[in-house]
Amino acid sequence: MNTDTLVSIRDLHKHFDISGGWLDQLRFTGGRFARRKTLVQAVNGVSFDIMEGETVSVVGESGCGKSTLARTVMRLYPPQAGEVHYRGRRIDHLSREQFKPYRTRMQMIFQDPYASLNPRMRVRQILEEPIRFHRPKTSGSEVLDRVAEIMQQVGVDPEWRERYPHEFSGGQRQRISIARALAVDPEFIVADEPIAALDVSIQAQILNLMMDLQEKRRLTYLFISHDLSVVAHISNRVAVMYLGTLCELAAIDALFDRPRHPYTQALLSAIPRLGAKGFQHQRLTGDVPTPIDLPSGCVFHGRCPHANDRCAREVPTLRPQGQETLVACHGVAEGRLPD
Amino acid sequence: MFAFFIRRVTQAVFVMLVISLIGFTIKQSVGDPLREITGISVSAAERDALREKLGLNDPFLLQWGRFLARALQGDLGNSFYFKRPALQVILGKAPATLELVFSTSLLVVLLSIPIGIYAAVRPRAWLARFFMGVSIVGVSIPVFLTAILLIYVFSVGLGWLPSFGRGELVTLFGGWQSGYFTSDGLKHLILPSIALSSIMLPLFIRLIRAEMKEVLETDYIKYARAKGLKPGRVLLVHGFKNTLLPVITVGGVQLGTLIAFTILTETVFQWQGMGAMFIEAVDRADTSLIVAYLVFVGALFVTVNTVVDLVYGLVNPMIRIAGRR
Amino acid sequence: MQGWRGFRKSYFVYSFLRDPMAMGSFLCLAILVMVSFGAPLIAPHDPYDSSTIDIMDSEMPPLWLDQSDARFLLGTDSQGRDMLSTMLYGMRVSILIGLGAVALQAFMGIFVGLVAGYRGGRFDAFLMRLADVQLSFSTYMVAIFFGALFQAAFGMGRYEQLAVPLLVIIIGFAEWPQYARTVRASVLAEKKKEYVEAARVIGLSPGRIMWRHILPNTLTPVLVISTVQVANAIMSEAALSFIGLGMPVTRPSLGSLIKAGFDYIFSGSWWITLFPGVALVVLILSINLLGDWLRDFLNPKLYKA
Amino acid sequence: MDRQPLLSVRDLEIRFRMRHGDLTAVNRVSFDLARGDRLGIVGESGAGKSVTGFGILNLVSKPGYIAGGRLLFEGRELTALPEEDLRQIRGNRISMIFQDPMMTLNPVLTIGTQMVETILAHRAISRAEATAIALDRIRKVAIPSPQKRLQQYPHEFSGGMRQRIVIAIALLNSPALIIADEPTTALDVTIQADILELLLGLCQSEKMGLILITHDLAVVSQVAERIAVMYAGTIVEIGPTAQVAGNPQHPYTRGLLGALPQRVPRGGRLNQIPGMMPTLTRVPEGCPFSNRCTLCEEVCRRRVPPLEPKAAGCLAACHLLD
């Protein structure tokens, strides 16, 4: 593995208050009025490190908090608790002005290529804006050269710089979105489902591009995805999330060869496989609980085939299992899970 | 649903407080309360004494509180011109306005729904285009002008229908004077109702058409067709029921507009309702009556809007069950 | 770049030219605006100049009827003013008030809607509640109340002197919630989009994101409602004038001309009402038709509040 | 077994009426489906796969219309059927499952209403009998406490549960064919597997035919017996699942499979098809894939390749496979 820790996430919590005005919070229970806040507990105590030059993927199903985690790391949301460190410096509590230099080091790529580019700006303006903002002394011709260079790198003809986003296809837009992130020469990129909205043949193009860029620019990726086969392809390590908590964090081969957490096992078994006949996936009972009323103990215990009393009471912590795996499961820790 | 109910009613009370505050401020800054009581021929010293006695030098909030307490008991001050309690004057005039509003609403509801649905389902049919053409012309003619044209054609020109007043009235219980029970009264209702609906009807036709068109493009309509349901059921049960929700919301708000337009209609037809009374009160600078009208009409709007919202909550299962929008 | 711009422009022009309704109403509107603003040059008489008005000329019918006077093409009103000239001047007043009121309400509404939508929280809740209350009263009612209030506060004479700015303020204030709600709803929708997050990731300040990124994307619905609002404002002005809370008879607008004419309709002098009435309807109708076309063409998602 | 297929599609052509002339969304598509058979239609967005599915029941949204071809279903020619007869086939002999279960169920009607009306639209039975059928179907899709569920509104269900309800509605009148348009695209993987398994099991136990429309080759390969691959409005390859997924013939199918991360060693370069699928206004002459095909030759740009038998039960439309 690589040497230096680039980003370190420590016990991060992010809750959203969706209860609206105080009249909306009013409840009538047990013969009396009470004000109750409705909190969406999107991320609850997530910790892990990202090493320089690697790709860490966060996978999970919709509503598991993976996108919120990405946005909290990028400071799009302020965390309720916990810390984010960048190269050993704590960054989550900095003011906008103090944080500004970090904006050139960490950038983000978004999911929807149709919504992530401002429809009223030309490609040139979209790509110039970050350069001019962070390096205001750059001369006009330098900026223009820089824009052309990045467009070249992501595979969009610089001749098209005066066009508007709607003149491009989804794949090309995603390239432009990547170009915007690269404009300030970052070393760390958070990619939130960057290929989920694209067709298969275009997905391959974007994945290849991202891997090429990583090689050329020594980028570090935090890759958010729901698609395990894509994750298996691109990442060094994978973090599996369920209902705002981390179930398992493992090196890619360890995770796919020997998933430990029951949820990871279920998730892996459910990937549609080319050429497989019928279904042998592990069935989970019940629905995913809402992040508003989190279950007690292990968040997965209501659907877990191996859950016992302890799982319902006690929150499991991440513990090392073997060399490259961390698992948060009482069953695994106690060794009572069938292998 | 219960939380929704409480929320809505609390909001209504809050709005009424704001309205009373505005009304009270108007009364404070524009009207001279002494004028209602005394007239002009009173010396300055006597005025000051009376001022003190009536509590007019008390702090603003205290006076507002007093105003509120009186308003709750139905005392909205005395009309300077009528020399009677303002609320009494308004209540005497209210039936005329309400009957006009009611027959107009009936006209609007009965016509706009079928026409709106038809225009949404067959947007290219010549009849639908005709309706849409007429409706845009309708929105573009001010109510008072429609009223004048109607009078000119049907009263002055053809002499078919009366041009002013309410005609022969019948007094019902509680002193409600109704024009609904005599043929003369009904005749007098025709032109004002048409004039008043001339602005609402096109608006509703356009609204229903737009909403219905939007609903008809949704997946669940396509799905209803894929289930093999009869076209009528797809349209009315699946389509119109979903169209109804936004229409109800707008309908509640538009009732306010309707009452505002009675001011114009009543002026043209010399219809002895609240609207005409209000304009006269403005001319006479009868502040108490103006404020009373504001509070009365405000209460009417708030009540109607609250009821409409509650009905909306009942119709919409999302609110009925989850209790929030 | 120029090529695409040209294409877009030409597509706009192309669909416009293909639509006889849009063309017709635009032409109509253009002519009305031109003649009304050119009134001092075009109008045969000056209705503001009392020395040229002779009460003996009152209630003259239009030229093609008996007892008409060759000086007055469309007849005269009850004070002996030339109908045609009075209408041209009146229309100018109506259009001015309409545009002024819309400018004011757009300014208020866009500012409030943008800030409320972007900031959210208590500020937003308060302003939108206010807008809701005001809307539930209907804009006409609010305008009438303010008219009545100002008239009582300023006194009749002073109110008439200040009528134009006061009407702009009254109508503008009565209708700002329409704008605020439209802008806010589209700001809320835009704010969720990822390009705004991308701008934040770059590190741009909230003000810059609001004005440079979000505002331009909310302008399409604003443009569409603006046309309709001009028509509404002109109608409001006419309604206020008709009930005596608007322009005085000495400086008539179309609404107050109709009001003045209404008193004579039973005596058979229909032209005093009809001509300004037709002018008003044609003016509003052409704006509305143009607005309809614009909405169909731009097809913005007019977010429901 | 009767020899006649359940559904026989011949040269189906669906067009969209546009301001500047028609666009052909589905171009001379032909395939057969035997009774109880399961066919998967795969393609990227804009390939015309959903339009084909909706076209079978003449439910293509305006301005689309069926411009030509024949649709023979249970011995009846659907394109020639009057609307009322077609209505009696919809939801009765052929059921549909839509993509997004959040959008397909009417939000203001209870599940019970939406189920019972589907039965009553096709059968003259009492409401009570219809309710009994509805309860039975809810049990079949393994939803607990069916009685209570009938009284509830769609928004009280989770996404997976809603799709189960939609499947239950599809089963109501024991159809011969189900057309499922991306039935699991809006769902999470674990739920997707459950739903697909349920659908597969029901098709087998009730002897229903299935047309599964999806963009996901892996999903199709797990459910369908045969796969049709669509590109720019045409079928470029059709054949048994093992053949198409294991040994594809058409260059497009090969490219598509090569682009799947599953088929490439971890971290290796994915095969990428250059460019993107043409929009309907810009489909090249000759072979629609010619402008992206690495093997393209002169003949490909001139002549449209016919769909012909190539290897082991596979039909492919390519000049270069002989």
- For residue C125, the chain A residue with the least C-alpha distance is A21
pLDDT score for D137? 93
One CATH from 3.40.50.300, 1.10.3720.10, 1.10.287.470, 3.40.190.10 for C96-300: 1.10.3720.10
Q: Bridge partners of A28?
A: A33
Question: Are residues D217 and A201, on separate chains, in Cβ contact within 8 Å?
Answer: no
Question: Are residues A96 and C203, on separate chains, in Cβ contact within 8 Å?
Answer: yes
Among D50, D54, D104, D111, the strongest candidate for a mutation testing the B interface, having the largest count of B CBs within 10 A, is D104
Among A193, A235, A274, the strongest candidate for a mutation testing the D interface, having the largest count of D CBs within 10 A, is A274
Are C69 and C60 a contacting pair, CB within 8 Å? yes
Q: Which helix (H) or strand (E) holds D206?
A: helix D189-206
**Contact residues on chain A for B324, CB-CB shorter than 8 A:** 20, 24
pLDDT score for D138? 93
Question: Are residues D106 and B238, on separate chains, in Cβ contact within 8 Å?
Answer: yes
The low-confidence residues of chain B, meaning pLDDT below 50, are: 323-325
Instruction: Parse chain B into domains and list their residue ranges.
Output: 86-324
C216 has a chain A CB within 8 A of its CB: yes
Please name which of A75, A105, A103 lies closest in space to residue A217, comparing C-alpha atoms: A105
Tell me which amino acid residue C134 is: Q
Tokens 């963009």: give the residue: D215
What ipTM describes this predicted complex? Answer: 0.86
The two three-digit tokens of residue D266, written as one number: 């971890």
Find the domain containing D52 and state its range. 5-82+216-321
Count of structural domains, chain D: 1
Are A47 and A298 a contacting pair, CB within 8 Å? no
Question: Are residues B317 and D104, on separate chains, in Cβ contact within 8 Å?
Answer: no
Shortest distance between the Cα of B14 and any Cα of chain A, in A, equals: 12
Q: Is residue D181 part of a domain?
A: no
Question: Are residues A272 and D216, on separate chains, in Cβ contact within 8 Å?
Answer: yes
Rounded Cα–Cα distance for residues D268 and B30 (Å): 82
**Contact residues on chain C for A133, CB-CB shorter than 8 A:** 202-204
Q: Which helix (H) or strand (E) holds D210?
A: strand D209-214
D253 has a chain A CB within 8 A of its CB: no
Based on C-alpha coordinates, what's the Rg of chain A? Answer: 22
Counting Cα atoms < 13 Å in the Cβ hemisphere of B21 gives 8
pLDDT score for A2? 45
Percent of chain A with pLDDT over 90: 51
Residue A28 has pLDDT above 70, yes or no: no
Partner residue opposite B290 with nearest CB, options C136, C148, C270: C148
Please provide the DSSP assignment of C169-212 as one string: HHHHHHHHHHHHHHHHHHHHHHHTSHHHHHHHHHT--HHHIIII
- For residue D259, the chain A residue with the least C-alpha distance is A204
Chain A: list its partners (3+ Cβ pairs within 8 Å). Answer: B, C, D
Question: Are residues B7 and A23, on separate chains, in Cβ contact within 8 Å?
Answer: yes
What CATH number does the domain containing D272 carry?
3.40.50.300
Question: Are residues A100 and C201, on separate chains, in Cβ contact within 8 Å?
Answer: no
pLDDT score for C4? 54
Q: Is residue D314 part of a domain?
A: yes
Rounded Cα–Cα distance for residues A137 and B186 (Å): 80
Are A204 and A216 a contacting pair, CB within 8 Å? no
A241 has a chain C CB within 8 A of its CB: no
Q: Is residue D87 part of a domain?
A: no
Shortest distance between the Cα of A323 and any Cα of chain D, in A, equals: 20
A24 has a chain C CB within 8 A of its CB: no
Question: Are residues B283 and C149, on separate chains, in Cβ contact within 8 Å?
Answer: no
The two three-digit tokens of residue C247, written as one number: 């322009």
pLDDT score for D90? 93
- For residue B8, the chain A residue with the least C-alpha distance is A23
A50 has a chain C CB within 8 A of its CB: no
Percent of chain B with pLDDT over 70: 91
**Contact residues on chain B for C231, CB-CB shorter than 8 A:** 140
C193 has a chain A CB within 8 A of its CB: yes
**Contact residues on chain D for A171, CB-CB shorter than 8 A:** 276
The low-confidence residues of chain C, meaning pLDDT below 70, are: 1-11, 50, 52-60, 63, 68, 70-73, 299-305
Question: Are residues B140 and C285, on separate chains, in Cβ contact within 8 Å?
Answer: yes
Among A18, A19, A22, A26, the strongest candidate for a mutation testing the B interface, having the largest count of B CBs within 10 A, is A26
Q: Which helix (H) or strand (E) holds B178?
A: strand B177-178
Tokens 């990547």: give the residue: A178
- For residue A23, the chain C residue with the least C-alpha distance is C125
Q: Taking a contact as any Cβ pair under 8 Å apart, which residues of chain C between 59 and 118 contact chain A?
A: none
**Contact residues on chain B for C135, CB-CB shorter than 8 A:** 253, 256
Question: Are residues D103 and B238, on separate chains, in Cβ contact within 8 Å?
Answer: no
- For residue A101, the chain C residue with the least C-alpha distance is C203
pLDDT score for D2? 52
* 3-state secondary structure (DSSP) of residue A271: coil
Question: Are residues A273 and D262, on separate chains, in Cβ contact within 8 Å?
Answer: yes
- For residue D246, the chain A residue with the least C-alpha distance is A275
A28 has a chain B CB within 8 A of its CB: yes
The two three-digit tokens of residue C175, written as one number: 């209708």
Burial class (CB in 10 A: 0-12, 13-18, 19+), C248: middle
Q: Which residues of A touch D (CB under 8 A)?
A: 61-62, 169, 171, 199-205, 207-208, 211, 226, 228-230, 232-234, 252-253, 266-267, 269-279, 281, 283-284, 287-288
Q: What would the mean pLDDT of A209-220 be, rounded to a whole number?
A: 93
Residue A333 has pLDDT above 60, yes or no: yes
Q: Which helix (H) or strand (E) holds B145?
A: helix B143-150
C288 has a chain B CB within 8 A of its CB: yes
**Contact residues on chain A for D294, CB-CB shorter than 8 A:** none
The two three-digit tokens of residue A332, written as one number: 């695994």
A32 has a chain B CB within 8 A of its CB: no
Q: Tell me yes or no: is domain B86-324 CATH 1.10.3720.10.
A: yes
pLDDT score for C304? 41
Q: Is residue D272 part of a domain?
A: yes
Question: Are residues A266 and D161, on separate chains, in Cβ contact within 8 Å?
Answer: no
pLDDT score for A106? 93
Say what the pTM is: 0.86
Partner residue opposite D269 with nearest CB, options A201, A208, A266: A208
The runs of H, that is alpha helices, within chain A are: 22-25, 66-73, 96-103, 123-134, 140-154, 170-182, 200-217, 228-234, 252-257, 262-269, 309-313, 330-334
Among D276, D277, D289, the strongest candidate for a mutation testing the A interface, having the largest count of A CBs within 10 A, is D276
pLDDT score for A276? 77
The low-confidence residues of chain D, meaning pLDDT below 50, are: 1
pLDDT tens-digit profile of A107-128?
999 999 889 999 889 999 999 9
